[in-house]
Structure 1
Amino acid sequence: MDFLTELRGRVDAVTSFARLDAEAASALRDDDVVGVLQAAAELVRAGQTLQALVAGVAAARSRREDGHDGLAQSRGHRNTVEMVQELSGGSKADAARQVRLGQVLLEGLPGPAAPDAEAEVPVATWHEPLDRALLDGTITAPQSDAILRGLGVPPEDGAEVWRVACEQLLREVPHRTVEELRLAAQCVRDELDPEGAEERFLARFERRAFRMWTDADGVPRASLVCDDEGGAFLRAVIDAAMRPRRGGPRFVDSAERERAAALVDDPRSNDQLAYDVMMDVLRAGAVADAEKVFGTRQPGVRVVVMKDAPVGHTEDGGHPLPAPAIEQAICTTGVREVTVDSCGNPLDVGREQRQFTPKQRIALAVRDGGCMWPGCATVASYCEAHHIDEWGAHGGRTDVGRGVLLCRFHHMNLHHRRHRITRTGAGAFMLHPPDGPPVELRSNSPRRRMWNPPPRAA
């Protein structure tokens, strides 16, 4: 990749707009706003890739054994991350990511050849598909880093399987956020290496901690580090209490609607409400009346496990869980079976009522993983079930095969802006905008790749 040629092309795309300053930007037409955003994003993407590669070179010249003669140390920095952070003006996390990505990119590139020596052959690495996509500009530095960190280092003799996983995850890049890519990569890693999944789960469990202290102003403060299950449950507690504030489903009974209205009108901030909820839970303890604290929806963590799969994941968020954690959850709460066909589509349950049943909602959550609108990351419990066939006009069936999960915003947007969703048989759901070509809707489930997974590590 010729970085200078790439950067010049991206700069030319931005400068193709006649005049850009604060005043001119505010007068841009809608299409030009989108065009400038896209051109600027591509310019930043090319710059990030170049920055990461050079940061890797700087790290190679700033090794610990080089002492004060290292590149970063000779300029007064303890390490490369500190130097990159100062030069870029970004966060320490951003600088660490650039250095980490640069080191990974350099693994697959030939080193400098000695005089009169044959050119060094590049080393074939398991992450070569990611490196190539990053250098080609197909993915961004944060996207590549999310997949790399999610997959982790493959076990012995697992490089080829990890390479296949990289190729499959690359196909998910246009359809997932950076956070979703990391979670999807973690799920892939845990499925391919179930024994390591338990070790990683226990390692995170060992990091759990709660600490209280009093600051200089005499204000009591606390810090909480959660394990996987504890974090999911804590999030469920807060979500159950804050749902109306955060755009939860609006199809509720009259009593719950009144509680929701009261919460929306409450003068407390979201942070204050969350604090008061946690204090209520702590005060109530083991004898808490769930309805008084949470209304009609008691919090809990629902786990999705495919039959015979070695790992599972939480329904909301898709956080992976190893087999022992799943067995523990089953002992506590039991199971509810959802039958799906060979393509992952839950079976129909018929036109019995206008609204989808709780069991159907579970089936939709298993299949869709959350809001199906392109680019939306809203989790399943914050979504509403949309009938793709209108109930009254088209005799729409309340079948999971004819329904999709949409968050409240996109559900309303679909109806108000005259979008349509269609489906032929058991094929893909297609979104038809009023003024554009149809778009395939893709599941956000972290397990969607299980219908065509790579082989597990030996």
Structure 2
Amino acid sequence: MTFIDDLRSGIDRLSEFAELDVETTALLPSVCELSDNAVRAAFDTVANHSRNLQKLELALAGVIAQRSSRAAGHKGLAQTGGYRTPEQMVREITGVPKSEAVRVVRVGSSLLDAEQGAGSDDELDVDAGAAAPPAREPWHRPLRDALLNGAITQAQHDVIRRGLGEPPAVDGRDEAEIIEVWRVAARRLVAESADSTVEDLAAAARAARDLIDPVGAELRWQERHAKRSFRMRVDADGLRHGHLVFDDEDADFWQSVLDSAMRPRRGGPRFVSEDEAAAARDLLDDPRTNDQMAYDLITDVFRAGALAEAKDVFGARQAGVRLVTIKDAVGPRDAFGRLLAVAHTEDGRVSLPGSALDRALCTTGSVEVIVDACGNPLDLGRKERLFSARQRLAIAARDGGCMWPGCERPIAYSEVHHIDHWHEHHGKTDVDRGILLCRYHHLLLHNAGWKITRVGKGEFLLHRPPGTAGPPIPLRSKSPLRWLFDPPPRTGWRTAA
């Protein structure tokens, strides 16, 4: 079936809905007459049709960019149409924001690059007088294939490509081997894309890049750290404004401060002490908005400084940044004495280089969690009904946040669910029988008939409520450490650099 045939097929499926065969001015009231099942079917059809049109839009945007290069000058495709850049042409024709136009051109250019850079070593002409050999197949070719096959969207393509960056040139290492490592990483991220939000996929891509390029991780962290800034301004009404640019580590610390104080308003765990429950009720009854409370909190912290007792400011959960790394994966040191290693914040959103890990080990120490080869923490028994703080730490390192598909709730807002009920199934309070769920999804699971199972050390499976069709849904960890516990089938993939 050709591309045009796919478009015709989409239009044909939409034409089956008689409610859509009306004048444009009558479309909205007519759509409201569709049944629930018809709305779902029509929306699926529209989404598929839109994805097909986006493929063509991206291809055309790539051609526009290619034919509007700086070398083309005023004779470029965009320039001859009166546009200064390809991005301006896309923005003004489509009416999308500048950031969206930039992404369309960027992804379209990547698709053409993957297509035109294709080649294989079998095609090389060994004759000395032959033309230059074709370029080696780009590492991001799997992303192009996945987008054209409908496996990923343009947004997913963009965050994977940008997150992984470009393979570094390393003295003494075969370029083809390094490129293959990036290609394997791209394939794995494509495989995870169906169960990941765009934001989670972007974080996973950055985490994967830092794991396979720890030397580059240190340089990237230094560049981002150098951009930190704070400035204030006064507007025309005399109101003062502040603008902060965080480095990665301090941003996570500030987020931890806010999460620790605001958890009751943002869906924090229910299983807390009576004192914590009372404080949570007071916070919920507070007339201030969340933004106002966040401002007051940061101001209080700033004023109190080191003189404040942590419990007076944060309550039971003290703010802080937990870094997670694999003990045996900590490598040697570079010429400046910095660890060649990568650590991650507890939720996996931020990667930090060996120098930051080294400082944390020096100032705050570490807690060792022993796991098996697949990342499963060791069993700790059935002595207690609730999971201990140490068990929660182990589960958090494994799960990285609420494990429900598509949920972005972080570790701080998650509870540990016993997949084997304590009373009915004599379930053990073991880390391999517990899983992180946010308050909402934990309640949904118990109240709506969902169920989570696990056979041995295998993957967690989410089963739909009785009477609902569909296979079990595999639950994938949100933690970047899953890349260490379950590496791609290639020896030495982590040590590209």
Paired-residue identity, %? 51
| CA drift at 1:281 | 0.9
| Worse-matched range after superposition: 371-380 or 448-457 | 448-457
- 2:156 corresponds to which residue? 143
- 1:115 corresponds to which residue? none
Secondary structure of the equivalent of 2:327? Answer: coil
- Distance in structure 2 (CA, Å) of the matches to 1:422 and 1:11: 42
Runs of 4+ in 1 over 4 A off after TM superposition: 120-123
Secondary structure of the equivalent of 1:397? Answer: coil
- Distance in structure 2 (CA, Å) of the matches to 1:302 and 1:29: 49
Within 5 Å, give how 1:61-140 maps onto structure 2. Answer: 61-110=67-116, 124-140=137-153
- Distance in structure 2 (CA, Å) of the matches to 1:248 and 1:36: 37
Whether 1:328 aligns to 2:359 is yes
Within 5 Å, give how 1:361-372 maps onto structure 2. Answer: 361-372=392-403
- Distance in structure 1 (CA, Å) of the matches to 2:18 and 2:480: 44
Going from structure 1 to structure 2, the CA distance change for 1:242 and 1:170 (only over 3 Å counts) comes to same
Question: Which of 269, 274, 277 is residue 294 of structure 2 equivalent to?
Answer: 274
Q: Output the TM-score relative to the length of structure 1.
A: 0.94
- 2:482 corresponds to which residue? 448
Going from structure 1 to structure 2, the CA distance change for 1:10 and 1:303 (only over 3 Å counts) comes to farther
Query: Match of 2:69, as an amino acid?
Result: R
- Distance in structure 2 (CA, Å) of the matches to 1:304 and 1:9: 49
Within 5 Å, give how 1:379-418 maps onto structure 2. Answer: 379-418=410-449
RMSD of equivalent CA atoms? 1.9
- 1:114 corresponds to which residue? none
Secondary structure of the equivalent of 2:79? Answer: helix
- 1:308 corresponds to which residue? 328
Going from structure 1 to structure 2, the CA distance change for 1:331 and 1:282 (only over 3 Å counts) comes to same
Whether 1:222 aligns to 2:242 is yes
| Structure 1 unpaired stretches of 5+ | 112-117
- Distance in structure 2 (CA, Å) of the matches to 1:364 and 1:378: 15
- Distance in structure 1 (CA, Å) of the matches to 2:16 and 2:237: 54
- 1:340 corresponds to which residue? 371
Listed one character per residue, the Cα deviations across residues 259-294 of structure 1 (whole Å, up to 9, x for unaligned) are: 111111222111111111111111111212222222
| CA drift at 1:438 | 1.9
- 2:10 corresponds to which residue? 10
Q: Is the 8 A contact 2:402 2:438 kept in 1?
A: yes
Secondary structure of the equivalent of 1:109? Answer: helix
| CA drift at 1:192 | 1.0
Secondary structure of the equivalent of 1:78? Answer: coil
Question: Which of 440, 463, 472 is residue 432 of structure 1 equivalent to?
Answer: 463
| CA drift at 1:160 | 1.7
| Worse-matched range after superposition: 344-353 or 101-110 | 101-110
Q: Is the 8 A contact 1:107 1:123 kept in 2?
A: no
- Distance in structure 1 (CA, Å) of the matches to 2:369 and 2:240: 46
Going from structure 1 to structure 2, the CA distance change for 1:121 and 1:135 (only over 3 Å counts) comes to farther
- Distance in structure 2 (CA, Å) of the matches to 1:24 and 1:315: 49
| CA drift at 1:307 | 2.2
Secondary structure of the equivalent of 1:28? Answer: coil
Q: Is the 8 A contact 1:198 1:324 kept in 2?
A: yes
Query: Match of 2:114, as an amino acid?
Result: G
- 1:457 corresponds to which residue? 496
Listed one character per residue, the Cα deviations across residues 94-115 of structure 1 (whole Å, up to 9, x for unaligned) are: 111111111111113349xxxx
| Structure 2 unpaired stretches of 5+ | 21-26, 118-130, 170-174, 330-340
Whether 1:359 aligns to 2:390 is yes
| CA drift at 1:322 | 1.2
- 2:215 corresponds to which residue? 195
Q: Is the 8 A contact 1:49 1:140 kept in 2?
A: no
Secondary structure of the equivalent of 1:365? Answer: helix
| CA drift at 1:316 | 2.2
Secondary structure of the equivalent of 1:308? Answer: helix
- Distance in structure 1 (CA, Å) of the matches to 2:397 and 2:13: 42
- Distance in structure 2 (CA, Å) of the matches to 1:227 and 1:385: 31
Secondary structure of the equivalent of 1:395? Answer: coil
Whether 1:30 aligns to 2:30 is no
Question: Which of 263, 268, 274 is residue 283 of structure 2 equivalent to?
Answer: 263
Going from structure 1 to structure 2, the CA distance change for 1:319 and 1:16 (only over 3 Å counts) comes to farther
Whether 1:44 aligns to 2:46 is no
| CA drift at 1:47 | 2.1
Q: Is the 8 A contact 1:315 1:380 kept in 2?
A: yes
Listed one character per residue, the Cα deviations across residues 282-316 of structure 1 (whole Å, up to 9, x for unaligned) are: 11112122222221111111111012332121012
Q: Is the 8 A contact 1:429 1:441 kept in 2?
A: yes
Q: Output the TM-score relative to the length of structure 2.
A: 0.87
Query: Match of 1:457, as an amino acid?
Result: A
Q: Is the 8 A contact 2:263 2:412 kept in 1?
A: no
- Distance in structure 1 (CA, Å) of the matches to 2:33 and 2:318: 49
Q: Is the 8 A contact 1:367 1:443 kept in 2?
A: yes
| CA drift at 1:74 | 2.6
Q: Is the 8 A contact 2:260 2:412 kept in 1?
A: no
Listed one character per residue, the Cα deviations across residues 358-379 of structure 1 (whole Å, up to 9, x for unaligned) are: 1111111111111111221221
| CA drift at 1:193 | 0.9
- Distance in structure 1 (CA, Å) of the matches to 2:137 and 2:431: 45
Whether 1:181 aligns to 2:205 is no
Going from structure 1 to structure 2, the CA distance change for 1:162 and 1:412 (only over 3 Å counts) comes to same
| CA drift at 1:161 | 1.4
- 2:128 corresponds to which residue? none
Query: Match of 1:444, as an amino acid?
Result: K
Going from structure 1 to structure 2, the CA distance change for 1:329 and 1:16 (only over 3 Å counts) comes to farther
Q: Is the 8 A contact 2:311 2:318 kept in 1?
A: yes
Secondary structure of the equivalent of 2:18? Answer: coil
Query: Match of 1:389, as an amino acid?
Result: D
| CA drift at 1:258 | 1.3
